[in-house]
A and B are shown apart, each in its own frame.
Chain A
């Protein structure tokens, strides 16, 4: 769906994006993760054809988005973190305006409008003025506008910023519905919990560079060079650490109270042997568990430059 090659964006002497390559297949939910100022918004604005890159190629559904931006517009829905609405309009008028802008035929307009209002749970506020909406409702209305014309690609820039936890859960449910309909979604956030369990692939950005990208499982496999172990002992962490350090397959040992975490390069079959060694040393072992990495841990590893 999206193919980016050698993308670069400079603002004067500042390099916002540097030599970015990215391929996002159709139907994917791609999470752009990174701290503020990493270049996420710049990338999304370039994809939305609102900004021209300094260099590079951007193809959306086979169309050159830089040279033919007008051809790309019907395919995309864009939502910025700045939920600007026309405050003078009523909720239905706002959606009707954008339905007209997107060229939704008059006979279909009313139906589309009602269905998106229902999807974002604003059907009861249909005739309210936009100014009377809470921040969460404004965000949902903006989202309703974004999906009104059934775009093939959704570009969401920090869509849940400023929402309360309940609002985030609701928002995630809405996105899940879209994902099930096969829409490709690019969503940026610096709040990792927003992305966990939702994105099928991710890209981690830092200082304008895409440090890693791909399907979440692939990245986990790539980063998990071995198993992450959590060991709990009874007040004998020093002996445990010494024992683990003597094992060439163990690395990244971190002590946290009575818990010791480390990375084990061997296979699961070799774990009973490690277990036996700990016990045979007379260490009071409470538990030894294999933990799986989540997005937050991947991000922290990458931002600590623990992976190349």
Chain B
């Protein structure tokens, strides 16, 4: 089966048969329509208290808001619940070895399991006509909001597909765990996005705004425009040009959903592969930084001094690299399988840079340089447009910020890699990095403040960057923090090299015992 025929997709057909046997779908659609009409009548009856002349617009927005929340939760919970049940019953194994590719299985689930959500969104489309005809609501805005609803539901369904593929022995049922996961996911993507996106500054939540239709909805709610056309004015600041979220969000949500499908497809194809491949991690990093630069470009053109922003960029770059490249760092089992099976199949440097399951330290460093190159390119463009910035740049502070960023990125990237291989648990590795970073950021800051010791305070990366941003011309030299991190890098590299040597020796010994003379190490010298 090469093509993906959605209407004849086996998983969609199965979901339909399971969920809507004995006219169940008509009952659900009937109830939904009844509630929609009751809501319309109530809004009309209490229109004096519900916006007066804006009552029809408010009714429409409440309906869309409720659908967004309800469908997102339901989509995430049903897909997670379905994956969980199939993993526990081992029926997913049967699916995996059919003619369907992992992507087809996942798309089928993302469409089939929450099919009622899509249907409930589609059946309320006539409401657009009512609001357009009676209330003068902008037809295009209403239509695009519904498109946003559909893509939001699909994206959340894809988020729910992210299952560990292992049976978790808990007493809670699949649906319960699915619901908990859904609440967490919706809480993170939507609530955090709503808090940040476009409510105060158009920049703060620009990236989150790409993944939720909330900025468009809030813009309509906060205006007195009964047509809702104000939603066209809220947009992602792309190098100074506002691209309306109404148009951009569905595209970005589909792209994010595609990314989520790709991540899960990889795990369904080769269980020991990392969540994302190294080229994907580079792409992810470049995309996030590009969007960040695009969103803040016009803001930076208007700032009095570019230096603090560039210092901030380098601080953020270390974090972005750690997050993006961290997803491509192998755990112990994955790394050992590389030693067993993949070692020597590519040139060493190329393998470290983009190879599957290889250690991620070179990828981390390369990722940093890729991000720095993007940042420098953006800064150059800004300086070309605003030549006066060149004179005000504080070069020593910038160089120190960049060097420290590279050191932090290398050090904590290595720590993450060592922890992932040593503990064999990706989540534990992330927690180790998080707690070490938190400790090194907070403890020296507090102790240094109490002891009034700038030397101690300067050990904190946060304190160092804050000082560099606030006093780019008169900062405390960050020699201690740099020395500590150089030492930490050397120690971690030594530890990682020792661990690798031990694994290689052990595995080589086993290979010799097995008489496997055609080891891939012999392929490339």
Please list the residues of chain A having a beta carbon within 8 angstroms of any beta carbon in chain B: 6, 8, 18-19, 48-52, 54-55, 66, 69-70, 73-74, 76, 78, 80, 82, 84-86, 88-89, 93, 97-98, 100-103, 106, 145, 149
In the complex, whether B270 has a CB less than 8 A from a CB of chain A is: yes
Select B99's contact among A54, A80, A84, A102, beta carbons within 8 Å.
A102
**Which chain B residues border A74 with CB–CB below 8 Å?**
99
Q: B90 at the A/B interface (Cβ < 8 Å)?
A: yes
Task: Say yes or no: A52 contacts B337, CB within 8 Å.
Answer: yes
Stretch from B11-19, B229-237, B433-441 contacting the other chain: B11-19
Minimal Cβ-Cβ distance residue in A for B101: A70
CA distance A89 to B94 in the complex (A): 16
B506 to chain A, nearest CB (A): 11
CA gap between A101 and B96 in the complex, in Å: 10
Complex-state Cα separation, A18 to B1, whole angstroms: 37
Within the complex, the shortest CB–CB distance from A96 to chain B, in Å, comes to 8
- Interface membership of B272, Cβ < 8 A: yes
* Residue B340 lies at the interface, judged by CB distance under 8 Å to chain A: yes
Query: Cβ of B14: which chain A residues have Cβ within 8 Å of it?
Result: 86, 89, 93, 97
Which 3 residue pairs across A and B have the least CB separation, nearest first?
A100-B10, A101-B98, A103-B1
Q: Is the CB of B97 within 8 A of A84?
A: no
Closest CB in chain B relative to A159 CB, distance in Å: 14
Interface centre among B13, B90, B270, B341 (most CB of A within 10 A): B341
**A76 contacts across to B, CB distance below 8 A:** 97
Tell yes or no: B144 within 8 A of A by CB: no
User: Is B248 interfacial (CB 8 A cutoff)?
Assistant: no
Contacts of B1 in A (CB 8 A): 103
Chain A residues lying within 8 Å of B8, measured Cβ to Cβ, are 100, 106
The CA of A8 and the CA of B510, in the complex, are separated in Å by 10
Nearest A residue to B108 by beta-carbon distance? Answer: A101
- Other than A49-B96, A54-B340, A78-B97, give 4 A-B pairs with Cβ distance below 8 A: A52-B270, A70-B101, A70-B269, A84-B89
Per the bound structure, the CA–CA distance linking A149 and B96 in Å amounts to 15
Check if B272 sits within 8 Å of A8, measured CB to CB.
no
CA distance A70 to B101 in the complex (A): 7
Quick one: which of B95, B98, B270, B514 contacts A6, CB cutoff 8 A?
B514
Cβ contact within 8 Å between B271 and A52: yes
* Residues of B close to A103: CB separation below 8 A: 1, 99
Among A54, A78, A106, contact of B337 (Cβ-Cβ < 8 Å) = A54
1/0 per position for B488-516, CB-CB distance to A under 8 A? 00000000000000000000001101111
C-alpha spacing A66/B100, complex, angstroms = 17
Residues of B close to A89: CB separation below 8 A = 14, 17-18
| 7 pairs of residues in contact across A and B, judged by CB atoms under 8 Å | A54-B337, A66-B341, A84-B94, A85-B91, A88-B18, A98-B10, A100-B8
Confirm or deny: B93 has a beta carbon within 8 angstroms of a beta carbon on chain A. Answer: yes
Give Cα distance in the complex from A140 to B464, angstroms. Answer: 69
Would you call the interface of chain B mostly helix, strand, loop, or mixed?
A: helix
Number of A-B contacts (CB under 8 A): 89
Cα A48 to Cα B93 in complex, Å, equals: 9
Is A73 within 8 A of B272, CB to CB?
Answer: no
**Beyond A78-B97, A84-B91, A101-B100, is A51–B514 a contact (Cβ under 8 Å)?**
no
B296-308 vs A, CB cutoff 8 Å, 1 = contact: the mask equals 0000000000000
In the bound complex, residues from chain B placing their C-beta under 8 Å from that of A73 are: 96-99
List, in ascending order, chain B residues with CB within 8 A of A98's CB. Answer: 10, 94, 98
Contact (A55, B511) CB under 8 Å given A80-B90, A86-B18, A89-B17: yes
- Cross-interface CB contact of B269 among A69, A88, A149, cutoff 8 Å: A69
Residues of A within 8 A of B90 (CB): 80, 82, 84
Tell me, rounded to whole Å, the shortest Cβ–Cβ distance linking A2 to chain B.
15
Q: How far is the CB of B88 from chain A (nearest CB, A)?
A: 9
Q: Compute how far the CA of A101 lies from the CA of B100 in the bound complex, rounded to whole angstroms.
A: 6
Q: Chain A contacts of B101 at CB under 8 A?
A: 70
Among A50, A89, A101, the one with the most B-chain Cβ atoms within 10 Å of its Cβ is: A101
B94 touches A145 (CB 8 A): yes
- The answer to whether A55 touches B516, judged by C-beta atoms less than 8 angstroms apart, is yes
Name the distance in Å between A186's Cβ and chain B's nearest Cβ.
14
B514 and A19 contact, CB distance less than 8 A? yes
* A-side contacts of B9, CB under 8 Å: 100
Nearest-neighbour CB distance to chain A for B295, whole angstroms, equals 39
- A97 near B271 with CB under 8 A, answer no
In the bound assembly, the distance between CA atoms of A89 and B272 in angstroms comes to: 33
Q: Are the C-beta atoms of A78 and B93 separated by less than 8 Å?
A: yes
| A101 and B109 alpha carbons, distance in the complex (Å) | 13
A6-B516, A55-B511 known; A48+B97 contact, CB < 8 A: yes
* 8 Å CB interface, B354-406 against A: none
Instruction: Indicate if the CB atoms of B98 and A102 lie closer than 8 Å.
Output: yes
Contact A93 B271 (CB under 8 A): no
Q: How far is the CA of A50 from the CA of B267 in the complex (A)?
A: 11
- Tell me whether A8 and B514 are in contact (CB under 8 A): yes
A126→B95 CA distance, assembly (Å): 22
Whole-angstrom distance between the Cβ of B351 and the nearest chain A Cβ: 16
Residue of A whose beta carbon sits closest to that of B507: A55
Interface residues of B in 329-344 (CB under 8 A from A): 336-337, 340-341
Closest Cβ of chain B: how far from A288's Cβ, in Å?
Answer: 46
Residues of A within 8 A of B270 (CB): 52, 69
Complex: A85 Cα to B14 Cα, angstroms: 13
Distance between A108 CB and nearest chain B CB, rounded to angstroms: 14
Q: How far is the CB of A57 from chain B (nearest CB, A)?
A: 9
- In the bound complex, CA of A88 to CA of B90 (Å): 16
B271, B336, B510: residue with the most chain A Cβ atoms closer than 10 Å:
B510
Contacts of A84 in B (CB 8 A): 89-91, 94
User: Whose C-beta in chain A lies nearest to the C-beta of B8?
Assistant: A100
State in angstroms the CA–CA spacing of A184 and B432 once bound together: 50
Chain A residue nearest to B337 (CB atoms) is: A54
- The answer for the CA separation of A88 and B14 in the assembled complex, in Å, is 10
Q: In the complex, which of the residues A6, A82, A100, A106 has the most CB atoms of chain B within 10 Å of its own CB atom?
A: A100
Tell me the complex Cα distance, A122–B515, Å: 50
How would residues 1 to 32 of chain B score, 1 for a CB under 8 Å from any chain A CB and 0 otherwise? 10000001110011001100100000000000
A155 nearest in chain B by CB position = B97
A50 touches B97 (CB 8 A): yes
Q: Chain A residues near B510 (CB, 8 Å)?
A: 8
A89 and B98 CA atoms in complex are apart in Å by: 18
When A100-B13, A101-B10 are in contact, do A86 and B91 touch as well, CB less than 8 Å? yes
- Measured CA separation A256–B386 after assembly (Å): 104
Measured between beta carbons, the chain B residues less than 8 angstroms from A80 are: 90, 93
Q: Give chain B residues whose Cβ lies under 8 Å from the Cβ of A82.
A: 89-90
* Docked CA distance A97–B18 (Å): 11
Give bound CA distance, A44 to B344, whole Å: 28
Instruction: Tell me the complex Cα distance, A86–B341, Å.
Output: 37
Which residues of B65-81 have CB atoms within 8 Å of chain A's CB atoms? none
Whole-angstrom CA separation of A6 from B512 in the bound complex: 11
- B97–A49 touching, CB < 8 Å: yes
In the complex, residue of chain B having the shortest beta-carbon distance to the beta carbon of A11:
B333
